[in-house]
Amino acid sequence: MSNNEIIDLHQYANLKLPNSSDSQKIDISKIQYTNMNPIYLNTEDALHILRHDAAHVLAQAIQELYSNAEFGVGPSTETGFFYDVKVSDSISSDNLEEIEAKMREIVNQKQRIFREVWTYDQAYKFFKNQKYKLEILNGLQKSEDIQVYRQGNFTDLCRGPHSLHTGNMGYNFKLTGVSGVYWKGDKNNDQMQRIYGTLWLTKEDLNQHLTFLKEANEWDHRRLGQNMELIHFDSQISSGMTFWLPQGKLLFNLISTYLSKLKAEHEYQEVSTPFLYNKVLWEKSGHWKLFQDNMISFDFDEVPCVLKPMNCPAHIEIFRKMVKSYRDLPYKLAEFGFCHRYEPSGSLHGMMRTRGFTQDDAHIFCTANQVEEMILSCCNLLKQVYTNFGFENIKVFLSTRPDEFAGDISLWNQAELALEKAAKLANLNYTIQPKEGAFYGPKLEFSICDRRKRTWQCGTIQLDFVLPKSLDIGYVTEEGEIERPVMIHYAILGSLERFIAILIEHTKGLLPLWIAPTQIVIATVSDEAKNFAEKVYSNLIKKEVRAKFDFTSKTLSSKIKLYTEKRISLLGVIGKKEMQSNMISIRKISGKMYTLTLDELVNHFKNLGTKSELPLE
């Protein structure tokens, strides 16, 4: 065995170890092993083992520093590791340095990591003061061998694998944070603290990751949206709500107009419905029972009222008024509906999670026979929109029946099958999320990641056999019978606020030109160019190019800096040179330069379509 092999041979070889009432200290050098692939230090394969080592070293350090620490679980993660602990005085982020120093000490000591196999009773006795470890033991069979790993004074119930000593994990790690968690993720359980760390094979990888975290801050939509003068938040006067500044509202309108047009092409009819409703409606629909904590409600004129958290019951109301016969189906409604939800304070997050947001909502009322075709067309339209916005990597989830649901199971099964079939026909690469569906039906969810790689649900297609029944709507069939329509809830972007936030983060503020609220700024080099610049600007405006101007006496350099910070893609520079040649110098934010006539420039904008870039090349 070479020195830099770190494989935990027992784990990988699946060796049969003797049952014994005594703990077995296994010395690897005495084990015969064949047919095993060794894992070497400094390989990707080793990384998750080393991160798991780091979790144990973290726990060991905490055990030494906090005598009364109780431990939960401590796995490796995609970028590092964490350990859940409970100590009598809580651990603050100020304590991390001290813990990290202790960890480095343990790494330095290269403590041998032993794998041991105990009996259930032995383990039970050993962990008698470790409440959470005992709970884990309770979940195991009494006849099972219990595997533990031990290094120094620290022994942990663990499936492994681990490397051979605490030195292998190296020093390329950093504790990154502390957060509160519930034991087993259940809010009814004890509150514990999770200490997070990140660990990499090389110093460069570590620094790269830390830089990534730092840069994620820079491209945060809250910061960028403010620099770009799109949005404003004032949490003291309206927490969890967006103030759209003029440029932001323009962006919002450009996106919603694009969607309106597209939906009209697909025979959706746009409607607008009230914000405020009598609570009775939501009691009937079933929402009140399940979501009253998240609905904003109050008495108004002595009537119990609710601000709509969604648009479906309102669209059902329109269906009731407008649709009588099977001839009217499928009936497709669309609305940019502003919804209010009382989101928990800790979940608010810029425009990603707000208490007031605009759903690009749509509902299709159809017959059972039309369902598949409708869902398929929903999937295809959705794909087209995401592609136009430049999102290629969207995550698709199929969420199935939750424990708390309405309606009967056979309808649910039918609905889940229909969604799955359509997803396959649309070539969607989806993952099933068991029990994550809405109470009234299963759903396809379309999620995108933000700059920090957090996933946010945007689009959704939900099948619903329940609301048409609870709110009692029907249509007359060919045979003259009354039948309930099937309802499909359909949002392409989901919340416009959330989608725009993600778009800002993805593009680092460089919005695709076809929806950039300001497409170009015309800037003068000096006052003598002002007349020509004015002419250029007014011509662009006449041709509906979203241009702005800057004829101030600031230097060109300072203008470039200013509009780079505002994330304006194109700067039209006009000075003496341009005046004389009757040309416009275009500077892309990247620094690339072009010289065009006014007509050429206008034509480029005219031919833009939904392309992100001007075809300047």
Euclidean distance between CA atoms 56 and 65, whole angstroms: 14
Is residue 438 a contact point for RNA (CB under 7 A)? Answer: yes
Neighbours of 501 (CB within 10 A): 27
Annotated catalytic residue, options 56, 263, 287, 341: 341
Euclidean distance between CA atoms 520 and 540, whole angstroms: 9
DSSP 8-state code for residue 41: T
Minimum CB distance to RNA smaller for 186 or for 479? 186
Is residue 220 a contact point for RNA (CB under 7 A)? Answer: yes
DSSP reduced 3-state for 222: helix
Minimum CB distance to RNA smaller for 146 or for 438? 438
Mask for 2-41, x = binds RNA (CB under 7 A): ----------------------------------------
Euclidean distance between CA atoms 552 and 526, whole angstroms: 8
Amino acid at 592: K
Euclidean distance between CA atoms 436 and 97, whole angstroms: 39
Minimum CB distance to RNA smaller for 177 or for 434? 177
Instruction: Figure out which of the listed residues 4, 20, 109, 179 binds RNA, where binding follows CB under 7 A.
Output: 179
Binders of RNA among residues 548 to 577 (CB under 7 A) are 553-558, 560-561, 564-565, 571, 573, 575-577
Binders of RNA among residues 272 to 291 (CB under 7 A) are 287, 291
Binders of RNA among residues 346 to 385 (CB under 7 A) are 346-350, 353
Residue 291: C-alpha distances to residues 86, 87, 347, 378, 600 (Å)? 32, 35, 16, 27, 56
Is residue 104 a contact point for RNA (CB under 7 A)? Answer: no
Nearest distance, CB of residue 294 and RNA, angstroms: 3
Is residue 585 a contact point for RNA (CB under 7 A)? Answer: yes
Is residue 180 a contact point for RNA (CB under 7 A)? Answer: yes
Annotated catalytic residue, options 8, 84, 156, 361: 361
Is residue 390 a contact point for RNA (CB under 7 A)? Answer: no
Euclidean distance between CA atoms 540 and 597, whole angstroms: 12
Size of the site for RNA (CB under 7 A): 77
Nearest distance, CB of residue 147 and RNA, angstroms: 25
Binders of RNA among residues 139 to 158 (CB under 7 A) are none
Minimum CB distance to RNA smaller for 46 or for 471? 471
Annotated catalytic residue, options 63, 130, 151, 359: 359
Nearest distance, CB of residue 182 and RNA, angstroms: 5
Kindly write down the DSSP assignment for every residue of 187-216, as one continuous string: TTS-EEEEEEEEE-SSHHHHHHHHHHHHHH
Residues 441, 417 contacting (CB under 8 angstroms): no
Q: How many CA atoms lie within 13 A of 112 on its CB side?
A: 8
DSSP reduced 3-state for 11: helix
Instruction: Figure out which of the listed residues 158, 295, 428, 547 binds RNA, where binding follows CB under 7 A.
Output: 295
Kindly write down the DSSP assignment for every residue of 498-516, as one continuous string: HHHHHHHHHTTT---TTT-
Amino acid at 468: P
Residues 227, 508 contacting (CB under 8 angstroms): no
DSSP reduced 3-state for 329: coil
Annotated catalytic residue, options 315, 353, 489, 548: 489
Nearest distance, CB of residue 163 and RNA, angstroms: 26
Active-site amino acid positions:
312, 341, 359, 361, 363, 443, 489
